[in-house]
Every structure is written in C-alpha cells, then in structure tokens.
Amino acid sequence: MLEADRLVVYAASEDEMNRIAAAEGDAHRREAYGEMLRGSLAHPEDWGWYALWMIVRKDGSHIGNLSFRGVPEDGIVELGYGIAEEYRGLGYATEAVETILAWAFDQPGVTAVAAETAKDNPASRRVLEKCGFVPAGEGREGQRFILELSSYGDPDPFL
C-alpha cells in the first residue's frame, strides 16, 4: 500500500479485480480488467506489474485506477490511469501518478516509465507533464510520453 497526501494507492486483490470487472459496463474495459487479473494470477511474483491499482481517497472513496502493461521490457514499463469524472481537475491524477512512479522506479531494472494519452485530452497531457514526462512521438493509443529514471525527480524537466 502506497500513501500520498490525500490518497492511498494499492494493487487490487483478486476479489477486487473480479468485482470491478463484473461491474464494468464497457466490454473493452471489462476484457482489459480480465486480462490484468489473468496476468496477475499467472505471475503472482510480479502482481504489481499486472494488477489493477486502486486510487482511494483517505476518506475511503475509490476514485480511480492505475495499471501497468506487464513487467518492464528493456527497462521500460507502460502506465495507464483514470480518475472518475467527478474527481477530475482536483489534482488527484497527478498525486496518484507521482505515487506510483516512486514505486515503479524503486523496482529493480526499471529505467523509464511510458504513458500515452489522446491528443484531445489536454488534462491527461498536463498530468504527465507535471510529473516530468516528455513527449516521445506517437503510440498505439495517442501521443506517447516518457519519463526516464535519469530525469526522475527533476523539479522542472523543461529547464
């Protein structure tokens, strides 16, 4: 369990992932959650790289999720995240991403974290920029950003 100022971030259990997948109305997301669970169960020693991570306010409200796309490949791991609409614009996504970055860069062999966001999602782009990510071309799902370990923690990566 990772603690931030206003949030707790943790890798969901098997029961939590099953419950979230079953409640998901979007078939694409439901399949993605099932894929995460299957990866977690197949690789319990790497649970954090496959699991859905819960973003929970300290009052207990579940406000979003984070996930990685499996174990790092060549030192790079890909991050995805989402915040419930009613909690957007309040800094929760930035706080959650900063929290999970600290965990990811503390894992052996991780040299960079990548993320993608749709071009028409300036709020997500700003979250990544505030966390130190820099544009890195086009990806599968939109604009790709990357944060290298050597730049991690730089208070202003644009200087």
**What's the structural domain count of the chain?**
1
The confidence score (pLDDT) of residue 29 equals: 87
Question: Is residue 159 domain-resident?
Answer: no
- CA 55 from chain centre, in angstroms, equals 10
Strands 2-3 and 143-148, by their bridges, are unpaired
Question: Is residue 34 domain-resident?
Answer: yes
Phi-psi region of 2 (alpha: psi -120 to 50; beta: other; left: phi over 0): beta
Q: Give me the half-sphere count of Cα atoms (radius 13 Å) on the Cβ side of residue 17.
A: 24
Fill in the DSSP letter of residue 86: G
Helices and strands in the chain, H and E counts? 5, 8
The confidence score (pLDDT) of residue 154 equals: 54
Residue numbers of the domain that contains 35: 2-151
Q: What is the pLDDT along the chain (159 residues), one digit of tens a residue?
A: 999 999 999 999 999 999 999 998 889 989 999 999 999 999 999 999 999 999 999 999 999 999 999 999 899 999 999 999 999 999 999 999 999 999 999 999 999 999 999 988 999 999 999 999 999 988 888 899 999 998 887 544 444
Q: At 27, which CATH number?
A: 3.40.630.30
Measured between alpha carbons, how far is 82 from 92 in angstroms, rounded to an integer? Answer: 10
Note the pTM of the prediction, 2 decimals.
Answer: 0.90
Question: Is residue 74 domain-resident?
Answer: yes
For residue 65, what are its two tokens? 């999720």
CB atoms near residue 104 (< 10 Å): 20
91-101: buried (b, 16+ CB within 10 Å) or exposed (e) per residue? bbbbbbbbbbb
